[in-house]
Chains A and B, each alone.
Chain A
């Protein structure tokens, strides 16, 4: 009997040849038909992708899309229920420790001992790896030199975040995983954090970052995989993803009352309409024609348009057009 999804069936099953798919030399990470289930729920549903050396690869998706679970399986924190992960030429499941010596990981929670100082924290993490970056260099680079004797519990959110990334880089890893690194940071801290990620890219490190901020993915990533409900629904460069849309602009509008979707679709130059929580997203190829007609439109109760926002298409619109939902809840 032929399996429905041959790639998944090739997974970790003991029987069968289970030959690894040949991994090209210019691939750092290859994920093939990766699957994870929790209590009957499929958190990651047979996803496949490849990451090239030196690239900053983004995994974009709403909370619960399966981004973190995907990273955790690659990092060796969770065992996949199916599929294959080849990282730095090694099977990430069976050669877990060898892989872990060469990857740097920053988890979502800033998991550091509050009692230790900055310096002690970096030292203890340094002791876990055979290869180490000099302490002074790390302190300098992450702007923590004047905080070296400060306890972790007294650091600001941004300082903690920088220290957390520094602990992921103590051993000069070839691949760096960052799980929602800027969640909870203020805009300024977020932008200086982006600079740190760009530095890593300049040094030739491969960076894999998950985020639910589309502007972050657009600003940082060479390529972006968009995840939803455990699947990758699109994967390309941010520019190509946006260009692939059949429209250039999005008009977001609200009305006091309900509006028949067909009437919105009938507006000039509108290629598609998505509605969520009373907001309507009109995807248009000619924004002025659409707007002019929209001004005259009334809802089913005869009320005119209440609010209006026009923007050029972004990754957010890619997500909306693919799923009908917004990225952020």
Chain B
């Protein structure tokens, strides 16, 4: 135990003093959030919105008026088919359809609207949906009746999807965890090259104690990074953590273990720091994009199994479940299980291949 604690403290000091080491992944995460959060600020994303009035009633006209005069929104009108075609061409941000019998239904206390969104513009969609929702909400309030007099039936999108920055922030947490912990292999290879591992190999230190203490120091560092990213997200972009901090912590720690185990495995194959760096990039960058850290992807059936095999996919899924959707254990356990499987596999491989020199 004394050995473990002493080793963990020393490892922590070494990590802390290798400033560039942990600063880079935080920097990339925060930079990405600034670029995607500010450069593509939703407010600047003006769009065309069309209202298809199939009812032609007093009520439907007043709903249409509710959409007019909005900043950034150019209101259009037309027939359903033409407007949906325009939506498919990318000329409309959203098409709201007021069905026949709207007024009657409203009088009976429950009317429905259909809304179609352009799903292809990732940066805009969050703003478009929230605008439509806000208009419908205020229309409901203006009716001074019940709050859900008009229900919005949303089409072609995940109703939970919010702003792009909400999607991006947990992805940046996942990315930072990946880069930071894969880099444990860099330390191992460079220490092996410098003979530091050989030096430890002539002491009674066990490989398991060594790796365990190192994992603790990396986990601490990762927790700080995750906190910095999430606090920045909250302060600058108002990204809320919907779920529990405990599940967030568990997901992050499993991600740390998984990435560490991959880092150690790569380190047992690489002989030099240069070759490790090459291999690490070969692993990290495909993972970054297949794992949906930056953008949601809709893989072809052929690619889907590959995407599902990437551990970062599951780390990001778990993080988004907690941060965006307030997910609980029921939503998270499959992701956790896959992360645990990766971590276990990676540690078995790296312990088998562990060598002091």
Known A-B contacts A115-B13, A120-B10, A124-B6; A107 and B198 likewise in contact (beta carbons under 8 Å)? yes
Q: Is the CB of B203 within 8 A of A120?
A: no
Within B7-36, the residues touching A (CB, 8 Å) are 7, 9-10, 13-14, 17-18
Asked if B306 is an interface residue, CB under 8 A from chain A, the answer is: no
- Which of B198, B200, B357 has the largest count of A CB atoms less than 10 A from its CB? B198
Asked if B296 is an interface residue, CB under 8 A from chain A, the answer is: no
Asked if B204 is an interface residue, CB under 8 A from chain A, the answer is: yes
Chain A residue nearest to B356 (CB atoms) is A77
Chain A residues whose C-beta falls within 8 Å of the C-beta of B203 in the assembled complex: 100, 105, 125, 128-129
Chain A residues whose C-beta falls within 8 Å of the C-beta of B202 in the assembled complex: 75-77, 100, 103, 105, 107
Asked if B353 is an interface residue, CB under 8 A from chain A, the answer is: no
Q: Is the CB of B194 within 8 A of A120?
A: no
- B183-214 near A? 1/0 per residue, CB < 8 Å: 00000000100111111111111100000000
Asked if A112 is an interface residue, CB under 8 A from chain B, the answer is: yes
* Interface SS of A by simple majority: loop
Query: Which range contains the number of B residues in contact with the other chain?
Result: 20 to 34
Known A-B contacts A100-B204, A115-B13; A124 and B7 likewise in contact (beta carbons under 8 Å)? yes
Asked if B161 is an interface residue, CB under 8 A from chain A, the answer is: no
Chain A residues whose C-beta falls within 8 Å of the C-beta of B357 in the assembled complex: 77
Asked if B2 is an interface residue, CB under 8 A from chain A, the answer is: yes
CA distance in complex: A100, B3 (Å): 15
Asked if A133 is an interface residue, CB under 8 A from chain B, the answer is: no
Asked if A83 is an interface residue, CB under 8 A from chain B, the answer is: no
Known A-B contacts A107-B198, A111-B198; A128 and B14 likewise in contact (beta carbons under 8 Å)? no
Q: Is the CB of A129 within 8 A of B204?
A: yes
CA distance in complex: A127, B11 (Å): 13
Q: Which of A101, A105, A116 contacts B14 (CB 8 A)?
A: A116
Asked if B5 is an interface residue, CB under 8 A from chain A, the answer is: yes
Closest 7 CB pairs of A and B: A127-B6, A111-B195, A109-B195, A124-B10, A111-B199, A105-B202, A115-B17
24 contacts between A and B (CB under 8 A): A76-B202, A77-B198, A77-B201, A77-B202, A77-B357, A97-B204, A103-B202, A107-B195, A107-B199, A111-B194, A111-B195, A111-B196, A111-B198, A115-B13, A115-B17, A116-B13, A123-B10, A124-B9, A125-B203, A127-B5, A127-B7, A128-B6, A128-B200, A128-B203
